[in-house]
Amino acid sequence: MNEPLPLIERARRVTRSVPRAVVCRQTAAHVWGLNALGFGASEDDWPVELIAPGHVTLPGCVTNVTPLPADDITHHRGVRLTTPERTALDCARWLPRVEAVAALDQFARRGVDLDALWRLPTIPWPVRDTLGMADRGAASPRESWLRVVLVDGGLPRPTTQIRVPLAPAGTAYLDLGWELYKLAVEYDGQGHHSSPTAQRHDDLRRRQLRDQGWRVMAVRKDVIPGQTANLLEHVANSLIERGWQPSPGTTTRILSRIRAARRKPR
């Protein structure tokens, strides 16, 4: 049985054989080197997403018919595809919000000027709002998801990569948190934090942070999306315990998001 071709090779073959086809959206983001196919998605099963004439139908491809200016087209790794700027804009426009922000965070780290996209006069407000959520400090797509869940849940926007000097020497960089309240939330990814050595390092680091008054809340892989309601409730309560005073309207919004998350099937 033949091994499936990598997505980039399939994209390369399609654009070589169909002159007017341009790879777009998450496939284009993948070719640009982003982790953008969504959690649990297999590259082997992912279709080649294209912008092409309406009469083009290709097996293993999803064709979108939409205007594409010549300035939005380039070549990378032998693939004809949308530019990083256009790919970022398409992700913001078409992907679910959490996946869009995860992609935008990665584009921001690669130097794409998302502020310039935000200022484009033709951008609708929902897309502009998603662009405004981007933060180049997110170190992984899961951290991006975590930030979106907290902000959309009504909590104040956290800062990413908070630098905390540790005694007697060293520095901790907290995934995201609120320095004013000395509260941090960190994503514990499977593998990265699961070995005994890594766990001992994390325990020592968090003990040093506690000595400086920080509270660090670790979020496991299975929390999002299955336990979003509990996450929002715990983080909101911790912020309030540490001095945050949400307005009545903000409190209502948070409670509404928690109830909505509990109603969703896991």
pLDDT digits (tens, 9 = 90+) for 22-66: 999 999 999 999 999 987 788 999 999 999 987 778 889 999 988
pLDDT at residue 191, as a whole number:
47
pLDDT at residue 56, as a whole number:
77
pLDDT at 111 over 70: yes
Per-residue pLDDT of 177-194, as tens digits, reads: 999 999 999 988 654 556
Q: Are strands 215-220 and 48-51 parallel, antiparallel or unpaired?
A: unpaired
Per-residue pLDDT of 219-258, as tens digits, reads: 987 777 778 999 999 999 999 999 999 999 999 999 999 9
Could you tell me the strand order of the sheet in which 159-165 lies? 159-165, 171-178, 183-188, 215-220
Task: Domain 141-263: give its CATH architecture.
Answer: 3-Layer(aba) Sandwich (3.40)
Q: Are strands 171-178 and 183-188 parallel, antiparallel or unpaired?
A: antiparallel
Per-residue pLDDT of 123-132, as tens digits, reads: 999 999 999 9
Domain spans, the chain: 7-132, 141-263
Using an 8 Å Cβ cutoff, are 254 and 154 in contact?
Answer: yes
pLDDT at 110 over 80: yes
Using an 8 Å Cβ cutoff, are 187 and 219 in contact?
Answer: yes
